[in-house]
Amino acid sequence: MTAILGLSAYYHDSADAFSSTGRSSRPRRKSASPARKHDAGFPLNAAHWCLKGGGLPLEKLAHVAFYDKPLVKFERLFETTLEYAPRGFGVVSQGDALWISDRLWMSERIGKDLGWEGKVLFGDHHESHAASAFYPSPYEEAAILTMDGVGEWATSSVGLGRGNAST
């Protein structure tokens, strides 16, 4: 059995999803603090709920996956700031400390917060949206459209889900 815990955290609306052996997927759960709307905290309680529901201890997971690629997102933020230089430097200096001290070290942070000693996989933001809709769906094949304020660079994408793969 291949078991994967997917994480969305540290931005807004933290959540987890659990999948094992193909397309069976546990429902997504909101963060550890359901009373807080748009909670960005690490969804530890939701992760435990997903693993318990899947009957799997943390150490039996094959993978832990994060919903975007922090280095690519940082590149976008930095390049966008340079386009608005010198006005944009004030915005960068406010966010630099957060990115340098925290967000660029996402593997280590997730490992610490979850207690995970394995490798953390990072997916494309829009592919993560597409996967969260397609894999738990009853369809063997589907066109997938994602539209979002922004991912790493893209604001929308089109793809095809087929079986347990997507393109």
Q: How confident is the model at residue 29 (pLDDT cuts 50, 70, 90)?
A: very low
CB 16 within 8 A of CB 5: yes
- 48-60 in b/e form (b: 16+ CB < 10 A) is ebbbeebebebee
* Model pTM score: 0.78
pLDDT of residue 94: 64
Topology of the domain comprising 3-71+105-161: Nucleotidyltransferase; domain 5 (3.30.420)
> Do you find a cis peptide bond into 86, omega within 30 degrees of 0?
yes
pLDDT of residue 116: 92
Phi-psi sector, 38: left (phi>0), alpha (psi -120 to 50), beta = left
Token digits of residue 160: 């095809």
Q: What is the pLDDT of residues 118-165, one digit of tens each?
A: 999 999 999 988 988 898 889 999 999 999 887 788 889 999 999 876
Q: How confident is the model at residue 11 (pLDDT cuts 50, 70, 90)?
A: confident
Residue 19, beta-bridge partner list = 4, 25
pLDDT of residue 167: 59
pLDDT of residue 79: 82
Q: What is the pLDDT of residues 57-72, one digit of tens each?
A: 888 888 999 998 988 8
Distance CA 142, CA 164 (A): 11
CB 131 within 8 A of CB 137: no
Q: What is the pLDDT of residues 70-122, one digit of tens each?
A: 888 888 877 877 787 777 666 666 666 666 767 778 899 899 989 999 999 99
Once rounded to an integer, what is the mean pLDDT over residues 17-28?
56
Q: In the chain, pLDDT over 70 holds for what percent of residues? A: 78
